[in-house]
Structure 1
Amino acid sequence: MDLLERLIAVFADHGYAAVFIALMLCGAGIPLPEDITLVAGGAIAGLGYANVHIMAGVTMVGVLLGDAAMFLLGHHYGAHILQWKPIALLMPPRRYAKMQDKFTRYGNRLMFFARFLPGMRTAVYITAGASHRVSFWRFLLLDGMAALISVPFWVYLGYFGANRREWLLMWVHRGQSSLWVLGGVVLVLLLVLGWRRRQRRVHAKNH
Structure 2
Amino acid sequence: METIIMDMIEAFKSLSYFGVMLALTFEFIPAEIVLPLAGYWVYQGDMNLYLTIFAGSIGGVTGPLTLYFLGKYGGRPLVLKFGKYFLIKDEQLNKADRFFERYGGGIAFFGRFVPGIRTAVSLPCGMLKMNVWKFILFTYLAMLPVTSAYVYLGYKLGPRWEQAGAIFSQYANFLLIPIALIVIWFVMKAQKQKQRQKLKVDQ
Q: TM-score, normalised by structure 1?
A: 0.72
> Counterpart in 2 of 1:80?
77
Deviation at 1:74, TM superposition (A): 0.8
Identity of aligned residues (%): 24
Are residues 1:114 and 2:111 paired?
yes
Residue 159 of structure 1 deviates from its aligned partner by 1.5
| Aligned mates of 1:145, 1:108 — CA distance in 2 | 13
CA distance in 1, matches of 2:13, 2:94: 42
Please give the per-residue CA displacement for 1:105-148, whole angstroms capped at 9, x wherever unaligned.
Answer: 2323322122223552331101211123x211221222122122
The question of 1:187 aligning with 2:188 is answered no
Residue type of the alignment partner of 1:110: I
Instruction: Note closer, same or farther for the CA distance 1:55–1:24 as it changes in structure 2 (3 Å cut).
Output: same
The change in CA–CA distance for 1:63 and 1:12 in structure 2 (over 3 A counts) is: closer
Q: How does 1:121-140 map to 2 (within 5 A)?
A: 121-132=118-129, 134-140=130-136
Offset at residue 88 of structure 1 (A): 4.4
Structure 2 partner of 1:149? 145
Superposition deviation, residue 97 in structure 1: 3.3
Matched, 1:161 2:161: no
Q: What amino acid is the match of 1:78?
A: G
Query: Structure 2 unaligned runs (5+)?
Result: 197-203
Task: Supply the RMSD in Å over aligned alpha carbons.
Answer: 3.5
With over 3 angstroms needed to count, the CA separation of the structure-2 counterparts of 1:54 and 1:127, relative to structure 1, is same
1:22 — aligned with what? 23
TM-score, with structure 2 as normaliser? 0.73
Give the match's secondary structure for 1:121.
coil
Alignment partners' CA distance in 2, 1:167 and 1:88? 29
The count of residues paired between Structure 1 and Structure 2 equals: 189
**Deviation for aligned residue 1:170:** 5.0
Q: C-alpha deviations, 1:21-45, integer Å up to 9, x for none? A: 220112xxx1x32133211111210
Whether contact under 8 Å (1:116, 1:176) holds in the other structure is: no
Are 2:175 and 1:174 equivalent residues in the alignment? no
8 Å Cα contact 1:11/1:19 also seen in 2: no
Q: Which 5+ residue runs of structure 1 have no aligned equivalent?
A: 202-207
Opposite residue 152 of structure 2, the aligned amino acid is Y
